[in-house]
Amino acid sequence: MSTNPDATSDDFPWARDWPEITDPRVRAAFARVPREEFVDPALRKWADRDAPLPIGEGQTISQPFVVALMTQALQLQPGHKVLEIGTGSGFQTAILCELTATPEGVPGETVYSIERFPSLAARAREVLHRLGYRPHLAVGDGAAGWPEAAPFDAIIVTAAAAYLPRPLWEQLADGGRMVIPLGARYEQTLWLLRKEGERMHRQWLGPVRFVPLVSPILRDPAMRVEMSNG
């Protein structure tokens, strides 16, 4: 088992259903990462459906289309440093590794991902390593970010937050992009945020439903950033 180096950029189950995903590098990444490796063997027959699946601990591997939409919005380039909150299965992490890989480097060396559940982080690490990816993985509250590795060219939050965590906004590089679902327990809005100096530009990407970002630090109002207009 391995990634598929010979795959054409439309060699994935959902290729014809995704006219919105126009970035050929994003499509090529989906052709290379085998989603079935990131789900339990008993669920593997469902892995080629464009739907979320359970991964244990009450969490889910995201719907592939949502992974693609979020990834495309980040406009990742080889060598970009990217932070993911919510490693979960590791599937999104692998996509990030593909898009930031450089010809001379090891795929994943500029990818950082944080997961709350040690069990999920351990399983994701095992699969990612088996497939040849070497992202930096940590267990903890991702809302605190990864200050030692900041600033990041891109940040992707794959769990739903009630507030934009201040540490993440502060750890985003000038000119950087962040994708984050913000809202209530069962319904959120997916936002693309861009940082330009002190300014926040925001773009609505659509309605989504993610599992919650569980973060004690967000109980402190000082840890939240108010969303500005425009």
Q: Which residues are catalytic?
A: 62
Q: Is 165 in the site for ligand SAH (CB under 6 A)?
A: no
Q: Using CB atoms, what's the residue nearest to ligand SAH?
A: 88
Q: Cβ atoms within 10 A of the Cβ of 129, count?
A: 14
Q: Is 82 in the site for ligand SAH (CB under 6 A)?
A: no
* Closest to 33 (Cα-Cα) out of 66, 55, 78, 3: 3
At residue 207, what are phi and psi to the nearest 5 degrees?
-85, 140
Name the residue nearer to ligand SAH (CB basis): 70 or 200. 70
* Closest to 198 (Cα-Cα) out of 218, 223, 178, 169: 169
Structure tokens at 157: 């939050």
Q: Is 114 in the site for ligand SAH (CB under 6 A)?
A: yes
Query: What's the min distance (Å) between Cβ of 3 and ligand SAH?
Result: 17
Q: Give whole-number Cα distances, 204 to 84, 142, 154, in Å.
A: 20, 23, 17
Give the amino acid at 115: E
**Three-class DSSP category at 69:** helix
Q: Is 225 in the site for ligand SAH (CB under 6 A)?
A: no
Among 31, 83, 94, 120, binds ligand SAH (CB under 6 A): 120
Q: Among all chains, which residue has been given the structure tokens 């593909």?
A: 98
Name the residue nearer to ligand SAH (CB basis): 159 or 193. 159
Q: Is 91 in the site for ligand SAH (CB under 6 A)?
A: yes
Among 54, 75, 141, 189, binds ligand SAH (CB under 6 A): 141
Query: What's the min distance (Å) between Cβ of 99 and ligand SAH?
Result: 14
Structure tokens at 97: 């590794």
Among 108, 115, 152, 179, binds ligand SAH (CB under 6 A): 115
- Ranges within 30-69 binding ligand SAH (CB under 6 A): 59-62
In total, the chain counts a number of residues equal to: 230
Give the CA radius of gyration of the chain.
Answer: 16
Which residues bind to ligand SAH, rule: CB under 6 A?
59-62, 85-86, 88-89, 91-92, 114-117, 120, 141-143, 158-159, 211, 213-215
